[in-house]
Structure 1
Amino acid sequence: MIYRFIILDFDGTLADSAAWTTRALIEGAERHGYRRLDEAGVEALRGLDNRAIIRSLGLPFWKLPGIARDMRRRMAAEAGSIPLFPGSAGMLEALADRGATLSIVTSNAEENVRRILGPALCRRIALMECGASLFDKARRLRRVLRRAGAPAEAAIALGDEVRDIEAAREAGIAAGAVAWGYATRDLLASRRPDFLFDRMEEVAGALLPLSPAPKPPPGSPGATAAAPPARE
C-alpha cells in the first residue's frame, strides 16, 4: 500500500519537547493539584496510556481542558527553546518529494507549531488541525481527510502515543507509531500499529516506496545487449 496522505502528530513526533514536557509536568503539580512528580516519576508515565496516566496523577477529567490551555500558553512563551528532532526536516522533505500530501493534527497551538517548524517546513504542510483535546484526535483526523478530499485507504496517521494509534483506528485510517517520542516502544508495540518506526530515515521508503525503473525494450537506447555465447 502506498500512502499519499500522511497526517503527523507534532510534539514527540516532529518536535523534541520531552525536556520541556518533563519540566512542565513537575512544575504544574502545585498549580493544578495533581500528584507531585520528579524526573523518575515522569519517566515512569511513559509506559502508561493516557487514561492510566490520568488515574496515576489523580486528575479529574474536568481539569484537563484547563491544564491543556495552560500548557499551550507556557509553550508559546518558550517555543524558541524547543527544537525539532534531528531528521524531522529531512523526513518531511523526503515525503513531500515523493508526492505525499502532509498534514499536522496536534493538541499544540498553531502559533507554536509554525514557530518551531519555521517558514520553509510550514510550506510543506498542506493542512493543520491544532488545539485538539486529549481524546479529540479522531474527529480532527476525519476533518482533515474531508478538507483534503483524501480517501481513507490512502491515509495514515503517525504519532508517538497510544492515543494516536487509537484515534487513527477510530477515524478508519492506518496507524503508524514512532519510537523516538513520548511513549515507550514496548507500549506502542503492544497496540499493534500498522507500522512502528525506530528511525526517521525509514518512514518515506516504507510509506511511499519508489517503483523500480522499467527495463527498456530490447534494441532501444539504454538496453543491455545479451552477451554472446562463450566459445568452447
Structure 2
Amino acid sequence: MTAYKLVIFDFDGTLADSAPWFISTLGGLALKHGFKQVSRQEIDMLRGKPSREIVRYLGIRFWQMPVIAQDLRRQSAQVAGEIPLFAGVPRLLRDVKGAGARIAIVSSNGEETVRRVLGTSAGMVDHYVCGASLFGKAAKFRALRRTLRLHPREVLSVGDEGRDVDAARKAGFTSVGVTWGYATEAALRVAGPAHTVHKVEELAALVGGTE
C-alpha cells in the first residue's frame, strides 16, 4: 500500500503528449490574438523559462489570458481524438489504483477533452477538476483536499512545469516533476520539486514506495 491516499496529475505534458499539437497551433493563436510569433528555436528557449517570463516574452497582456485559454480549450476539444497519451500512462494509472491511492486530474483543459484523450483509462480517474480558475491551481488543490478530508502529507502532485510545483508547495503537497513535458529538466529543478522522474515507470514505483 502507498503512503499517499490521493495522486493528483496535471494533464497536458504530464499524461497527454499535447506539446506537438500546441506548437503547431501557436502561430495561429498569435495571429488571432496579437501576440508575438516565435520560431522553433525560441520555443525551445522558452521551455526553460517560468510561466510569467513566457507570457512577458510573448507580449500577452493579463486581460488577454482568459480569452486565449478559452480559445485553446476549444481547439483542443476539436482534436482530442488525435492527441496521444504518453507511452505507459494507462499502466501507470492502473498501478496507482493498485497501490491503493485515488487519482485526480487537475487541469485547465476541459473535462470532456481530458476524458476523450484518456479513452478507456478515463474510468480510473476518481476526480476531475478541470477548466479555468480565477484563483489558480493551488486553490483547486486545496479545495479538493478539503472535500476529501485529507492531510496535505497524504497527497502527491505530479506535473511537468514549475507552476505545478509551485501550486503543490502552496497547498502543502509533495511534488513530482516529470521531465518529458513542456518545461526543461533544468527549469523544473529550479522550481524545486521533491522528486524528479525521467520515465513514466518511475512514477508507479514512487507512489508505491518502492524507490
TM over 0.5: yes
Q: Counterparts of 1:77 and 1:14 in 2: how far apart (Å)?
A: 19
Structure 2 residue aligned with 1:143: 143
Unaligned stretches of 5+ in structure 2?
A: none
Aligned length, in residue pairs = 209
CA contact 2:176–2:195 (8 Å) conserved in 1:
yes
Structure 1 residue aligned with 2:204: 204
Q: Counterparts of 1:52 and 1:108 in 2: how far apart (Å)?
A: 22
Structure 2 residue aligned with 1:161: 161
Q: Counterparts of 1:18 and 1:52 in 2: how far apart (Å)?
A: 19
Please list, as runs of the form range in 1=range in 2, the aligned pairs for 1:69-218 lying within 5 A after superposition: 69-118=70-119, 120-133=120-133, 136-209=136-209
Farther-moved stretch of structure 1 (47-56 vs 140-149): 140-149
CA contact 1:156–1:176 (8 Å) conserved in 2:
yes
Q: Counterparts of 1:83 and 1:125 in 2: how far apart (Å)?
A: 17
Higher helix fraction (1 or 2):
2
Q: Secondary structure at the match of 2:177?
A: strand
What TM-score comes out, normalization by structure 1 length? Answer: 0.86
The change in CA–CA distance for 1:182 and 1:116 in structure 2 (over 3 A counts) is same
Q: Counterparts of 1:20 and 1:207 in 2: how far apart (Å)?
A: 30
Deviation at 1:41, TM superposition (A): 2.0
Farther-moved stretch of structure 1 (141-150 vs 86-95): 141-150
Q: Counterparts of 1:60 and 1:160 in 2: how far apart (Å)?
A: 24
Unaligned stretches of 5+ in structure 1?
A: 211-232
Deviation at 1:134, TM superposition (A): 8.4
Deviation at 1:4, TM superposition (A): 2.2
Instruction: Provide Cα deviations, 1:55-110, integer angstroms capped at 9, x if missing partner.
Output: 10011111000000000000111111100000111111111111111000001000
Aligned-pair identity (%): 41
**For residue 165 of structure 2, what is the amino acid of its counterpart?**
I
**For residue 71 of structure 1, what is the amino acid of its counterpart?**
L
Work out which of the two has the higher radius of gyration on C-alpha atoms and give 1 or 2. Answer: 1
Q: Counterparts of 2:153 and 2:33 in 1: how far apart (Å)?
A: 41
Deviation at 1:133, TM superposition (A): 4.2
Deviation at 1:209, TM superposition (A): 2.1
Q: Counterparts of 2:175 and 2:132 in 1: how far apart (Å)?
A: 18
Higher RCO, 1 or 2 (CA under 8 Å, sep at least 6)? 2
**RMSD between aligned residues:** 1.4
Q: Secondary structure at the match of 2:145?
A: helix
